[in-house]
Amino acid sequence: MTKFNEQLLTPPSGFPDLTPREAIATQRVLDVIRKHYEMAGFLPIETSLVERTEVLTAKSEGEIGTQIYGLRLLNPAEGAPTDEKSLALRFDQTVPLARFVAANYGRLSFPFRRYVMGPVFRGERPKAGRFRQFTQADIDTLGNETLDVLHDAEVIATIAHIFAELNIGDFTLRINNRKILEGVLEVHEVKSTDIGGAIAVIDRAEKVPLQETIKDLNAFGENVKAESWIEKILSPRSTDDTLAFLKMISEKQNKENLTTGYNELSRVINGLRSLNVAEKNFTIDLSIARGLSYYTGTVFETRLEAHPEIGSIASGGRYENLVGTYVNKSIPGVGASIGVTRLVNKLIEAGVIETNTTSIAPVVVLSPSGEARGADYLALAQEVRTTGIACETYLVSRALGKQLEYANKRGFRFAIIAGENEFDNQSVIVKDLKTGEQSSIPRSDIAVYFATH
Amino acid sequence: MTKFNEQLLTPPSGFPDLTPREAIATQRVLDVIRKHYEMAGFLPIETSLVERTEVLTAKSEGEIGTQIYGLRLLNPAEGAPTDEKSLALRFDQTVPLARFVAANYGRLSFPFRRYVMGPVFRGERPKAGRFRQFTQADIDTLGNETLDVLHDAEVIATIAHIFAELNIGDFTLRINNRKILEGVLEVHEVKSTDIGGAIAVIDRAEKVPLQETIKDLNAFGENVKAESWIEKILSPRSTDDTLAFLKMISEKQNKENLTTGYNELSRVINGLRSLNVAEKNFTIDLSIARGLSYYTGTVFETRLEAHPEIGSIASGGRYENLVGTYVNKSIPGVGASIGVTRLVNKLIEAGVIETNTTSIAPVVVLSPSGEARGADYLALAQEVRTTGIACETYLVSRALGKQLEYANKRGFRFAIIAGENEFDNQSVIVKDLKTGEQSSIPRSDIAVYFATH
């Protein structure tokens, strides 16, 4: 037996392991996400992690196109599949959704709401804290030709309810509508071909001095004169003040983009209020644009107030033309994505999510009488499980003191201890490992004990 | 806008899509599996789908070695990661577990119980019903140097409880211990180097005529004389009769393998009974051996009585030497694997699992008053969700009849209908879509209504 090269035991950079502590914490986050996705009526679909290369490359924007992993058989046998060149790993959840909806268009009911929680792959340069496989938890709602913008509110509210339940501190959903930015830029005579570039300038305004933003915007034309209006766009106001400001300028300017943008945004805010999203958890931020060019209306990001350095922890928006291109139909959509791997990783680092749980089961049955009583300890554990409480057994021949040490180290809440005396008189000792208290109770009272402790 | 090539929209062979119906059915199965895994104290860990090539190829048996998918960047940019040659997709859950435990040996508490539910990849020849990506839901318990065989019983019982709850008809866990087969073959003078081959003959005995098995066994030596004993091994008996038979022959022969095998098997059966596995759900089947050579003791398969053609729906066993090789320690283990993708696929085909559910939410809020009331319908849906009931909205401007048609087609249990009258007097109409019954109730009674219907 030769020892395996230890360096090979560490996972490759960007593909880290999660220990039980980290996996339990991650699973809790995923459970909360799934609960709210399902609560709002989003349905699961499953698409494979492997898609046709052509499907992925047709829809990859910018640098993502250089990060797609294809497959290859390492050591193909005779008669092995020969289509490996056409197989690649998905880099997001949106392209597979678009492909799926196109393939199943006639069989789906619209509006079609779907959620998905699973891994995506990007061949990024290895770097500390950068993942090459990560879990994205997405929701999207797709309409057949039309889709009320209240669906945008539903998506955003669902994200808000998740973060509220996760209890990770104050957060703010920063909401905007790209049509408003487009309208404002039209008013200031930015050419339609420059509008994408000008929006990108506004999108990064919070990261640079105001003068730089003004200079960059003014470069789009001599009539832009950003110094006269950009501060009004960037300055924070209450939601109702921003809506009043937008109403005022849209009525004054009477430009289609501006008016539609204002109407949509105002309807989205109405929707959020109807869906009980707390006022403190959302704001209109007219500088938000999101990088991806496929967004056409509502866009949003999510900031954790105590940890702005983490960046947006969930984002999304409305896209009119993404899905339909595959089937030559108009299939407007709105979606949101939570980057779960990065989120959980950062929240663990920041101490916002605790990873002190190394046990899902609150109860352990110890085995002070040793091997001969092994099956009896299994029976005892099964009695606990029958009451609906998860329970482990510890079937290792060690002194009781050592067994209790193990139970404490693992973080169980209760240890059940039964020696020959207890077996003789059908009782058990339950030790509360938090308080140290021990109770001897009839075995038939186990359910009652846990129901009341 | 050019139409996308429709053929590209179908997923590649072996990587199928699941529609909501199928995904909901699959998710239900996974939820039951996870519940029982956690109930018995198994903990999640997460290892990436991508492992180092060397780790995977070191542990791939037989044809699996020819089915491993490596990664390659399709279109690498300058400065892209250059380690792609060392990256490959996992083909099972056991090798990553072994690698993880080796890497984290000093930090884990033993016995270490872990569960995992996730995809694995095998580059098999495309063929109808054959998957190249499929979900395996595994549990394994690993000991530090020793591991009581009652852990084998715990693993098997957990699988039994899952299938009992899944309510997929009669099933039988067929349990054996490879040491018994080895002992029997030793008694009949099969050489130690031939024992693996002879076990393989017995393993496939149920698929061929008895005479063929006898002939194949007798080929291992002139003293084998399988005709004198193989029928006794293969004939079905009650569990207790088999144990009595094994006790008798192990006492008579006094061979270490036979005695240890009998003792272990008998302890496992004891454990199953302590863990409340129904007698009808398990049997000792001395012909079971499992193909994989790493099994050293307990082995089991699971047969669905009404659908034997599906083959084993869950299997596993004890392995003494699999994990330890990576760290040069003795780390005995026992595990079980449920091939979820194949299982669900076959059960759907056989009509055992129904896929008539196209909605997780039982309630839909319709919108007879149209767009102007949109936000009010969101508020109504949110009131339903606050009672803990998942609820969709249907915000499409259509006549109420069409909206009810949609609600029926989607399979909701209840539709909530509110027009101007209802908004005026703070009431709603709840329509039971199963019975057709309609009730007008005060809006404040929604929670009460659903609690009692």
Read off the amino acid at residue B427.
S
> Nearest CA of chain A to the CA of B185: how many Å?
27
Q: What is the residue-averaged pLDDT of chain B?
A: 93
Task: Give chain A positions within 8 Å (CB) of B133.
Answer: 48-50
Q: Is B129 left (phi over 0), alpha (psi -120 to 50) or beta?
A: left
Of the candidates B87, B382, B390, the beta carbon closest to that of A275 is on B382
Are A12 and B271 within 8 A, CB to CB?
A: no
Are B270 and A364 within 8 A, CB to CB?
A: no
Of the candidates A88, A328, A379, the beta carbon closest to that of B1 is on A328
pLDDT of residue B292: 65
Average pLDDT on A424-439 reads 96
The vertex-B448 CA angle with B445 and B449, nearest 5°, equals 85
* DSSP label at residue A2: P
Residues paired with residue B383 on neighbouring β-strands, in sequence order: none
B213-256: per-residue pLDDT in tens? 999 999 999 999 999 999 999 999 999 999 999 999 999 999 99
pLDDT of residue A292: 65
pLDDT of residue B354: 81
Task: Give chain A positions within 8 Å (CB) of B110.
Answer: 396
H-type alpha helices, B130-177:
150-166
Q: Token pair for residue B123?
A: 């580059």
Which residue on chain A is closest to B372 by alpha carbon?
A267
Are A39 and B107 within 8 A, CB to CB?
A: no
Task: Give chain B positions within 8 Å (CB) of A394.
Answer: 111
Task: Give chain B positions within 8 Å (CB) of A49.
Answer: 15, 49, 119, 133
d(CA B179, CA A8): 33
Answer yes or no: are the C-beta atoms of A132 and A14 closer than 8 Å.
yes
Percent of chain A with pLDDT over 70: 99
Answer yes or no: are the C-beta atoms of A320 and A302 closer than 8 Å.
no
Q: Minimum mean pLDDT among A232-236, A371-375, B126-130: which range?
A: B126-130
Rg of chain B in Å (alpha carbons): 28
* DSSP label at residue A46: B
| Residue A228, Cβ density class (10 Å: 0-12 exposed, 13-18 middle, ≥19 buried) | exposed
CA pseudo-torsion sign A209, A210, A214, A217? positive
Which residue on chain A is closest to B114 by alpha carbon?
A20
Average pLDDT on B169-194 reads 95
| Residue A274, Cβ density class (10 Å: 0-12 exposed, 13-18 middle, ≥19 buried) | buried
Task: Give chain A positions within 8 Å (CB) of B19.
Answer: 45, 104, 107
Using the predicted structure, report yes or no on whether residue B2 has a pLDDT greater than 80: no
The ipTM assigned to this model is 0.95
Number of H helices, E strands in chain B: 15, 16
Please give the biggest Cα pair distance in chain B.
95
* A365 or B124: which leads in pLDDT: A365
CA atoms within 13 A on the CB side of B16: 16
Read off the amino acid at residue A392.
E
Task: Give chain B positions within 8 Å (CB) of A40.
Answer: 361, 385, 390-392
Please give the biggest Cα pair distance in chain A.
95
Using the predicted structure, report yes or no on whether residue B210 has a pLDDT greater than 80: yes
Using pLDDT thresholds of 50, 70 and 90, give the confidence band for residue A4.
low
Using the predicted structure, report yes or no on whether residue B1 has a pLDDT greater than 50: no
Q: Token pair for residue A361?
A: 């089961």
Are A123 and B81 within 8 A, CB to CB?
A: yes
Task: Give chain B positions within 8 Å (CB) of A275.
Answer: 378-379, 381-382
> Nearest CA of chain A to the CA of B226: how many Å?
36
pLDDT of residue B57: 87
Are B41 and A393 within 8 A, CB to CB?
A: yes
Task: Give chain B positions within 8 Å (CB) of A15.
Answer: 48-51, 87
Answer yes or no: are the C-beta atoms of A394 and A406 closer than 8 Å.
yes
3-class secondary structure, B113: strand
pLDDT of residue A1: 38
Q: Token pair for residue B37?
A: 């895994």
Using the predicted structure, report yes or no on whether residue B348 has a pLDDT greater than 80: yes
Are A274 and B376 within 8 A, CB to CB?
A: yes
Are A46 and B23 within 8 A, CB to CB?
A: yes
Which residue on chain B is closest to A39 by alpha carbon?
B390
Average pLDDT on B340-346 reads 92
A98-147: per-residue pLDDT in tens? 999 999 999 999 999 999 999 999 998 878 778 999 999 999 999 999 99
pLDDT of residue A435: 96
Sheet architecture: strand order including B171-177? B43-44, B112-121, B133-142, B333-339, B314-319, B298-304, B171-177, B282-284
Q: Would you list the DSSP string of A114-180?
A: EEEEEEEE--PPP-TT--SEEEEEEEEEE-SS---THHHHHHHHHHHHHHHHHT-S-EEEEEEEHHH
Are B84 and A74 within 8 A, CB to CB?
A: no
| Residue A109, Cβ density class (10 Å: 0-12 exposed, 13-18 middle, ≥19 buried) | middle
Q: Minimum mean pLDDT among A78-87, B216-225, B302-311, B386-395: which range?
A: A78-87
Using the predicted structure, report yes or no on whether residue A252 has a pLDDT greater than 70: yes
Using the predicted structure, report yes or no on whether residue A220 has a pLDDT greater than 60: yes
Average pLDDT on B292-304 reads 90
A288-327: per-residue pLDDT in tens? 988 767 899 999 999 999 988 888 999 999 998 887 777 7
Task: Give chain A positions within 8 Å (CB) of B160.
Answer: none
Are B70 and A68 within 8 A, CB to CB?
A: no
Are A39 and B390 within 8 A, CB to CB?
A: yes
Residue with tokens 């577990």: B97
Average pLDDT on B382-396 reads 96
B93-149: per-residue pLDDT in tens? 999 999 999 999 999 999 999 999 999 999 988 787 789 999 999 999 999 999 999
CA pseudo-torsion sign A210, A231, A178, B394? positive
Using the predicted structure, report yes or no on whether residue A165 has a pLDDT greater than 60: yes
What's this model's pTM, rounded to 2 decimal places? Answer: 0.95
Answer yes or no: are the C-beta atoms of B367 and B403 closer than 8 Å.
yes
Neighbours of A326 (CB within 10 A): 25
